[in-house]
Every structure is written in C-alpha cells, then in structure tokens.
C-alpha cells in the first residue's frame, strides 16, 4: 500500500553527483520509490569524492545525505541488454531524472526523444551545467565552476575589493539547484494531473546561479555600475561583522536605521551615542562609519559572544552568529524543528531533512543510502527476469 504524498510515484534517478539525485531524494522523503541507476563496479562518481578527501571514517557522508531511501540498480548502459532493462523501467516510471552530458545521452539512448515515446505520462527531468541550448550546451561543469564562478557570485563574495575570490564548499550550489529541479518536477506532475500528459522539464546550474545572484544581476541589467565590496565601516556600523572576546564572530543587520540605531545604542549601554554629533543623523553615522565601528569593535571585544547574544536579543537587535559547522550539533533550534532526523537503519546516524514541510504530511523516515547495485537482482526479478536471465545479465 503506497504511503506518503508521492507513495504511488516511481522515480528513476539516472544522474550523478548532487543536484539531480538530491531532487529525487526530496521526492523520496514524501514517499516516492526511487531507483538509482549506477555503473556496475564503480557506481556513481559522487562516491569517489568521499574517498578523494581521504576522510578516515567508514561513513560516506556525501552519499548518506543525497542518496538515502533509494534502491540501487547497477546497469552498464553502453550495453543493449542494460538499455532494455532501463526501458522496461521507464515504461512503468513517473519521473526520469538525468544530468548525463548531452553527447553521451544519444550514445546511451537516454535522450527525451528516446524515452518519452515509451511512456506518454513520463516526466523527463533534465539537468545541465549551462542550459539546453547555445554554444555551451555540451560543456561539462559543476556547481563550483558554473553556479558559483560563472554566475558572478564568486567574484562578488570577497572580504574586500582587493581580496581574491573564495572557493565554494561542496554542494553549495547543487542543493539549491536540486530544489529548482524538484519544483519543476512537481509542477509537471500537476500539469499531468490536469492533462494526462507527461512533460520534459529542464534547469541548469547557470540559471540557478544567476537566480541566486539575482539582485546584482538585475542591477547590471538596469544599467547600474556595481563597485567592489566597500572597506569595513563604509557600510555603516549597523551592517557589519564583529569579533568577541572568545574568538567568535557575529553580524548585525539593519534595514531601518532610524528604528534600529536607538535600539542598538541603548541595548549595549551607550545611549549617549545617540546625542553624539558624529552619530546623531544617518548622514553623520555614514560619514563617521569607521569611527563608530571602532567603538563597537572595542566594546564587543571585551566580552564573550554569549554575553552579547543575550543583550542584543533582549534589545530587539537583529544579529546572527557566524556559526562553525559543529555549532549545529545539539543546536536547540535545529532540534526543535526536526532538521536532523535519525536514519532508521543507521545505528543512530542522523541526516539532514528536506528544507520545507507540508502541514499534515508525515515525514518519511530516512533509510541508509544503498551500496552499488545492492538491489539489482531483486529489481530484475520484479521486472520479470528469470534466475537464468539475471545470471546472464550479471555475466554480461
């Protein structure tokens, strides 16, 4: 009996690395059955990223978060016998997700024009680095090279105008792109409900990188000249980062200085700054930004972050800790929202929940990500292959 909102959906994850497969993972969180197609022996190349990092542990954390709940079917799609198995699955499937490079899709028989005629209700979801058209449609790329670098984000996110651009973290652009892929798939499923017909849906790392940098890209489209990141203090003391006595950093953010400046000054015990001619007006505070930042620097450096967090919170000041990755472990807010669910067969291991909830829809309990080809024999039997045929396919 199907369970979950998408309990009646069969999804084929014929993609690699993160953005495409993570969209399938979110579908599985709502109950969809997801079959992961991997090359025999080596599997999805994403598995190698963990090994390349030389992490001395038994849990492939990349694989655990992005391939949970899935069944693994090992197929060498260069062989006609394997393509026949995939086609049999496609005839039963609701969604097919791929990011196989465009030139290889034709060789492997996994283009939309190859698979959609097999199933009129199929949602064919295509992810590419640079988009489906244009001179770069066949280029390979990753979120670091496209979403981060090509979009302009890498150029703009610098500590100062003179600093070198910073490298991205693994998956930083892939996971947001996965949500765009998920949204496209769900939109196509809604269209199918209305029309009975499947669709081809597409997204790209480039499109998502531009969307993530939309405010600055739109400025360029409107003809504005964007300057490099201003030096510290030039943005004003109410939009700056500060360092505390226990070597933590936090940021203060204000969109309404007329309201927020008195709140901040009174919260930190310096209401007299409100009458200081250097800071009494918005124009004066901006002109004397470095001087005001220097006062806050000295003040905040005298006490640990916990001291200031309570004061700023009680003073209704908008601020945020510059967290390190281990701050999230045991975080009360994260726990209260159930963002780190426990994997049912993971011996206490936890993972990341999808980034949204639907009222009344219970969360599917996450299961451990599969080994390479872990479910191949069972799936082939389900497709009607006899033991002799399964043995022959394995030998091939």
Alpha-carbon distance of 86 to 102, in angstroms, equals: 18
Are 114 and 253 found together in one domain?
A: no
The CA–CA distances, whole Å, from 281 to 265, 297, 331 equal 13, 21, 39
Question: Is residue 187 in some structural domain?
Answer: yes
Do 89 and 147 lie in one domain? The reply is yes
Please count the structural domains in the chain: 2
- Neighbouring CB atoms inside 10 A of 219's CB total 12
CATH number for the domain that contains residue 133: 3.40.50.10540
Query: Do 170 and 210 reside in the same domain of the chain?
Result: yes
Q: pLDDT tens, position by position, for the chain (396 residues)?
A: 458 999 999 999 999 999 999 999 999 999 999 999 999 999 999 998 887 776 666 789 999 999 999 999 999 999 999 999 999 999 999 999 999 999 999 999 999 999 999 999 999 999 999 999 999 999 999 999 999 999 999 999 988 888 999 999 999 999 999 999 999 999 999 999 999 999 999 999 999 999 999 999 999 999 999 887 888 888 889 999 999 999 999 999 999 999 999 999 999 999 999 999 999 999 999 999 999 999 999 999 999 999 999 999 999 999 999 999 999 999 999 999 999 999 999 999 999 998 999 999 877 899 999 999 999 999 999 999 999 988 888 877
Helices (H) and strands (E) in the chain, counts: 17, 9
In this structure, are 186 and 296 located in the same domain?
no
Helix, strand, coil percent values for the chain (each to nearest 5): 40, 10, 45
Same domain, 274 and 364: no
Domain around 252:
240-326
Same domain for 103 and 170, yes or no, is yes
**254: domain CATH number?**
3.30.1540.10
Is there a single domain that holds both residue 172 and residue 126? yes
Alpha helices in the chain (DSSP H): 19-29, 46-52, 61-66, 80-92, 102-108, 112-115, 153-156, 174-195, 205-212, 214-221, 257-267, 282-287, 289-300, 305-314, 332-336, 376-382, 387-395
Backbone angles phi, psi at 278, to 5 degrees: -70, -25
Q: Is residue 332 part of a domain?
A: no
234 falls within a domain: no
Give yes or no: residues 291 and 387 share one domain: no
Identify the H or E element spanning 14: strand 10-14
pTM for the complete prediction? 0.94
């Amino acid at each position: 009996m199907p369970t979950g909102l998408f309990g009646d959906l069969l999804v084929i994850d014929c993609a690699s690395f993160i953005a495409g497969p993570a969209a399938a993972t979110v579908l599985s969180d709502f109950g969809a059955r997801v079959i992961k197609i991997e090359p025999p022996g080596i599997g999805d190349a994403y598995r190698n990223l963990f090994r390349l990092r030389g992490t001395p542990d038994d849990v492939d954390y990349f694989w655990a978060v992005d391939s949970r709940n899935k069944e693994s079917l090992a197929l060498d799609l260069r062989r006609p016998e394997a393509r026949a198995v995939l086609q049999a699955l496609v005839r039963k499937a609701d969604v097919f997700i791929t990011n196989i490079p465009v030139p290889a899709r034709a060789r492997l028989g996994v283009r939309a024009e190859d698979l959609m005629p097999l199933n009129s209700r199929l949602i064919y979801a295509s992810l590419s680095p640079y988009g489906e058209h244009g001179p770069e449609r066949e280029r390979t790329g990753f979120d670091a090279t496209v979403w981060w670098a090509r979009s302009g984000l890498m150029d703009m996110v610098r500590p100062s105008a003179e600093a070198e651009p910073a490298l991205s973290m693994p998956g930083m652009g892939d996971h947001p792109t996965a949500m765009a892929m998920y949204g496209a798939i769900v939109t196509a499923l809604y269209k199918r409900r209305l029309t009975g017909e499947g669709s081809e849906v597409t997204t790209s790392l480039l499109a998502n990188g531009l969307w993530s940098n939309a405010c600055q890209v739109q400025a360029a489209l409107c003809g504005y000249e964007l300057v490099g990141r201003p030096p510290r203090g030039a943005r004003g003391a109410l939009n700056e980062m500060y360092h505390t006595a226990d070597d933590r950093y936090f940021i203060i953010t204000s969109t309404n200085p007329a309201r927020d400046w008195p709140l901040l000054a009174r919260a930190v015990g310096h209401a007299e700054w409100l009458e200081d001619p250097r800071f009494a007006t918005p124009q004066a505070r901006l002109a004397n930004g470095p001087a005001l930042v220097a006062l806050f620097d000295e003040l905040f450096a005298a006490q640990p972050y916990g001291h200031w967090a309570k004061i700023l919170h009680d003073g209704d000041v908008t601020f945020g800790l510059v967290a390190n990755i281990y701050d999230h472990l045991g975080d009360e807010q994260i726990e209260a929202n159930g963002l780190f669910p426990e994997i049912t067969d993971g011996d206490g291991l936890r993972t990341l929940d999808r980034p949204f909830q639907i009222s009344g829809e219970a969360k599917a309990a996450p299961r451990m990500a599969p080994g390479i080809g872990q479910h191949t024999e069972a799936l082939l039997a389900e497709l009607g292959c006899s033991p002799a045929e399964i043995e022959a396919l394995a030998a091939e």
